A and B are shown apart, each in its own frame.
Chain A
Amino acid sequence: MKNDAFSGFHPVVNFIFFVAALGMTMFIQQPVYLLISFISGCAYLLYLQGKKGFFRQVGYLVPILIMMAIMNPVFNHEGITVLWYLPNDNPITLEAICFGLASAVMMGASIVWFNCCNTVFTSDKIIYLFGRVIPALSLLISMTLRFVPRFKNFLQSVVRTQQAMHKPENTKERFQQALAAFSATVSWAMEQSIVSADSMKSRGYGGLGRTAFSIYVFEKRDGITLVLLAVLCAGAAIPHLFGLMRWIYYPSLSGELFGPVQIMAYFCYGGMCNLPLIINKMEDRKWNALRSKI
């Protein structure tokens, strides 16, 4: 993972950014908005994870999204532009294809943004932000989120150890080994939960007057970013709230795509979605400039 400057900002900034990006991706079905969100999300994830990590994390999505785009016109036949007919006389319409594509892009964009969010918005930030408001829940969330990769890693190491001891020769043996590894991992996980409960108790969890250590300071740059984020967010959301970004898929594709207001809104939305990337680029440039002077 690359050194991400946006991760170093105050957790509030991170949180608000991801809420805005995810919320607008999921609730605005305008095709240009979806494309902007999808492309910027991919660009940011590519920056965060590098090429290899990016494809490992979202590569499996490609066939699923293609399936989604194909399935919609097969089962949904609304729309005035009939392209051809299925053997059972139900029509395949252009509108249904477009809607299928749009929902696939929306799904992809949301998953990509969630991946970015997981990388940037780590569990210590969750605890820091929500530890006071909802202490039990935020601890639970961060422990649960942590549990999945831990479980996966342990399972992998058990499997590797087993294979080093005895390479399975046929399907039956492989199956048995996998089962044994899984059962070992489950019992390890149960043991771990008891151990961590004991550990928490002995450290005084639940007692009064506990404090939490955190190194987050709300700096001037966080304030500036927050204001910028708010302005861009308003520029993208307010036209939508006033119905100017209205886009209808059924019964016919209609709505204004490239009027002056719409283009302005696209710029705001694009700026908002690319804010972390812009910050990173600026930070990189600063770093390089300072280094070359020495």
Chain B
Amino acid sequence: MKRIVKVIVLVLVLSMLVGCGKSNTAQVADTNGDGKLTCTLEVRCDMLLEKLDQMTREKAALVPENGVLLETAQVEFDSGDSVFDVFRKVLREEKIHFEYVDASAYDSVYIEGIGNLYEYDCGPQSGWMYSVNGVYPGLGCSTYTLADGDVIVFNYTCDLGADLGADYEK
């Protein structure tokens, strides 16, 4: 009995190690030639400003007046870093609350809430999305590898991205 348990534990541990052992080795070019890789990160929730009446009182109180949760910040990153790596580093430093889950089916993480504003807080089609250089990539934020000079914006949508101009139909 004990031996079976041991074998099961061993298999589990091995499979976890294999799952974690992916590393991104692709080199990212330093395009502006300053010797550092930098990007900017911003977190906004403009869409919520007009829809405060559709949220609960407690949630509406959390929406900042200008819709900016995190002002545009210049961030240095390492080659191969994903959007999520930069995001979690900056938000931890700025002490802004966020919650994510590992969506293993998509091999990425999913950000459920930032600053206690969560998915579904403003209707069934609401949640967080991100754009890089103005384009919504439709990719998990931990699978998108950054390039030098990228502009990342996290924005809250109330309509699956249509109100942000992220149209996947095209």
Enumerate chain A interface residues (CB-CB to B < 8 A). Answer: 77-80, 82, 85, 89-91, 93, 248, 250-252, 254
The tally of CB-CB contacts under 8 A between chains A and B is 33
In the complex, what's the smallest C-beta–C-beta distance from A227 to chain B, in angstroms? 38
A252 and B92 form a contact (CB under 8 A): no
In the complex, what's the smallest C-beta–C-beta distance from B85 to chain A, in angstroms? 11
Q: What string of 1s and 0s marks CB contacts (under 8 Å) between B54-79 and chain A?
A: 00101100100000000000000000
B99 and A254 form a contact (CB under 8 A): no
In the complex, what's the smallest C-beta–C-beta distance from B170 to chain A, in angstroms? 34
A248 and B116 form a contact (CB under 8 A): no
Nearest to A90 among chain B residues (CB) is: B99
Q: From the candidates B58, B97, B118, name the one contacting A248 in the complex (CB within 8 A).
A: B58
Nearest to A96 among chain B residues (CB) is: B99
A79-B116 contact, Cβ under 8 Å, with A89-B88, A251-B62? yes
A254-B58 contact, Cβ under 8 Å, with A90-B100, A91-B97? yes
Q: Is the C-beta of B140 less than 8 angstroms from some C-beta in chain A? A: no
Chain A residues near B58 (CB, 8 Å)? 248, 250-252, 254
Nearest to A79 among chain B residues (CB) is: B116
* Closest CB pairs A-B (n = 3): A251-B116, A77-B99, A89-B88
Q: A89-B100, A91-B97 are in contact. List 19 more A-B contacts (CB 8 A).
A: A77-B99, A78-B99, A78-B116, A79-B97, A79-B116, A80-B62, A80-B97, A80-B116, A82-B95, A85-B92, A89-B88, A90-B100, A91-B99, A248-B56, A248-B58, A250-B58, A250-B116, A251-B59, A251-B62
Q: How many residues of B contact A (CB 8 A)?
A: 14
Nearest to B100 among chain A residues (CB) is: A90
Chain B residues near A80 (CB, 8 Å)? 62, 97, 116
Q: Is the C-beta of B113 less than 8 angstroms from some C-beta in chain A? A: yes
Nearest to A171 among chain B residues (CB) is: B1
A78-B118 contact, Cβ under 8 Å, with A89-B88, A248-B58, A251-B62? yes
Nearest to A255 among chain B residues (CB) is: B58
Chain A residues near B113 (CB, 8 Å)? 78
Chain B residues near A85 (CB, 8 Å)? 92
In the complex, what's the smallest C-beta–C-beta distance from A2 to chain B, in angstroms? 45
User: What secondary structure prevails in chain B residues at the interface with A?
Assistant: mixed
A82-B97 contact, Cβ under 8 Å, with A251-B59, A251-B116, A252-B58? yes
Nearest to B116 among chain A residues (CB) is: A251
A90-B98 Cα distance, complex, nearest whole Å = 7
In the complex, what's the smallest C-beta–C-beta distance from B16 to chain A, in angstroms? 14
In the complex, what's the smallest C-beta–C-beta distance from A144 to chain B, in angstroms? 35
A93-B98 Cα distance, complex, nearest whole Å = 11
Q: 8 Å CB contacts to A: which residues of B89-119? A: 92, 95, 97-100, 113, 116, 118
In the complex, what's the smallest C-beta–C-beta distance from A153 to chain B, in angstroms? 30
A-B contact pairs, 18 of them (CB 8 A): A77-B97, A78-B99, A78-B113, A79-B116, A80-B62, A80-B97, A82-B95, A85-B92, A89-B88, A90-B99, A90-B100, A91-B97, A93-B97, A248-B58, A250-B58, A251-B59, A251-B62, A254-B58
In the complex, what's the smallest C-beta–C-beta distance from A92 to chain B, in angstroms? 11
Nearest to A254 among chain B residues (CB) is: B58
In the complex, what's the smallest C-beta–C-beta distance from B42 to chain A, in angstroms? 19
A80-B118 Cα distance, complex, nearest whole Å = 12
A89 and B59 form a contact (CB under 8 A): no
A78-B58 Cα distance, complex, nearest whole Å = 13
Nearest to A85 among chain B residues (CB) is: B92
A79-B88 Cα distance, complex, nearest whole Å = 18
In the complex, what's the smallest C-beta–C-beta distance from A251 to chain B, in angstroms? 4
A188-B118 Cα distance, complex, nearest whole Å = 55
Nearest to A93 among chain B residues (CB) is: B97
A106-B116 Cα distance, complex, nearest whole Å = 25
Of listed B95, B97, B100, residue having the most chain A CB within 10 A: B97
In the complex, what's the smallest C-beta–C-beta distance from A253 to chain B, in angstroms? 10
Chain A residues near B95 (CB, 8 Å)? 82
A254-B99 Cα distance, complex, nearest whole Å = 21
